[in-house]
A = this chain, B = another copy of it.
Amino acid sequence: MHIMVTNDDGIHAPGIQALAAALGELGEVTVVAPDRERSAAAHSLTLHSPLRVFEIRDRFFAVDGTPTDCVNMGIHRLLPFRPDLVVSGINHGANLGDDITYSGTVAAAMEANLMGIPAMAVSLATFEASEHFSAAAGVAVRIARQILDNGLPADTFLNVNVPNCSADKMNPPLITRQGRRSFVGTVIHKTDPRGRTYYWIGSDEPDFNDYEGTDFYAINRGHVSITPLHLDLTNYDSMKIVSGWNF
């Protein structure tokens, strides 16, 4: 059994360390991860500049690229065998609802799925200094074992969010759908020491609609949330409506 681990918080983040260590009980683990934080990298791919790889210790490879780059580097170059599973995380902070489209953590699992490799993304639902990475890593191992035992359904990868608490306080996993966010963004501006204006994209705490069955609803009640995803963004219901338009 061979497992590749990646993330978007960077190879030195505590979440990936906990994850790699815990998955060791299922098989051989190779880590291929960004050399520094790449949050909100989404599914971006480095096409117009080259990548560098640094083997920082045995089976730990740092890449100066995005999570999606790391999956490519791992599968096509660094791993001796095609892995049985790719696990991305443990992200520091939830990846819920529409926000998963920004997520480098989820994108890494998406990339593995495109290559036909079973994959999941794992996130810890907190922005506090996180104490419960090892509990979350335990959850990841349990789900990984299910994937390895059952296989994933066709065209499916998993987005897992784990509440930030110890294992005994966690509620059991719920299979959820992707929630919807009530989006309120902002851009602030400031002046630098040379008198020039610069801007920051601000972010409020994302506010999700607390509908039953969603990832947000599950996390909000202390459950592990498991959302099966695919890559098909087609809105089938809208196809008929748009077909009636007069081009």
Known: A114-B181, A189-B77. A47 touches B40 (CB 8 A): yes
Q: How far is the CA of A158 from the CA of B242 in the complex (A)?
A: 10
Q: Considering the complex, which residues of chain A in the window 201-238 have a beta carbon less than 8 Å from any beta carbon of chain B?
A: 201-203, 224, 226-238
The docked-state distance in angstroms from the alpha carbon of A68 to that of B43 is: 13
Majority DSSP secondary structure for residues of A touching B: mixed
Q: Chain copies in the assembly?
A: 4
| Other-chain contact of A43, B42, B238, B241, B243 (Cβ < 8 Å) | B42
Residue from A116, A185, A189 whose CB has the most chain B CB atoms within 10 Å: A185
A21 touches B (CB below 8 Å): no
Partner of A247, one of B172, B198, B237: B172
Q: Which of A107, A189, A201, A224 has the most CB of B within 10 A?
A: A201
User: Contact partner of A242 among B153, B155, B183, B199, CB < 8 A?
Assistant: B153
Known: A230-B235, A235-B228. A40 touches B50 (CB 8 A): no
Between A and B, 18 residue pairs with Cβ closer than 8 Å are A37-B48, A41-B44, A48-B52, A52-B198, A72-B187, A77-B187, A98-B114, A114-B183, A115-B185, A146-B245, A152-B238, A156-B235, A172-B247, A178-B232, A178-B234, A193-B202, A228-B241, A229-B234
- Among B114, B116, B185, B192, point to the contact of A76 (Cβ < 8 A): B185
Check A234 against B228 for contact (C-beta < 8 Å): yes
Assess the A201–B45 pair: CB atoms within 8 A: yes
* Beta-carbon nearest neighbor of A150 in chain B: B245
A102 x B234 contact (CB < 8 A): no
In the complex, whether A194 has a CB less than 8 A from a CB of chain B is yes
Residues of B with C-beta under 8 A to A228: 234-235, 238-239, 241-242
Known: A42-B107, A185-B76, A228-B239. A146 touches B246 (CB 8 A): yes
* B235 and A199 within 8 A (CB): no
Let me know if A143 is at the binding interface, CB within 8 A.
Answer: yes
CB <8 Å contact, B230 and A175: no
Q: Are A49 and B49 in contact (CB under 8 A)?
A: yes
In the complex the two chains form, is B44's CB within 8 Å of A40's CB? yes
CB neighbours of A229 from chain B (8 A)? 233-235
Check A94 for interface membership: any CB of B closer than 8 A: no
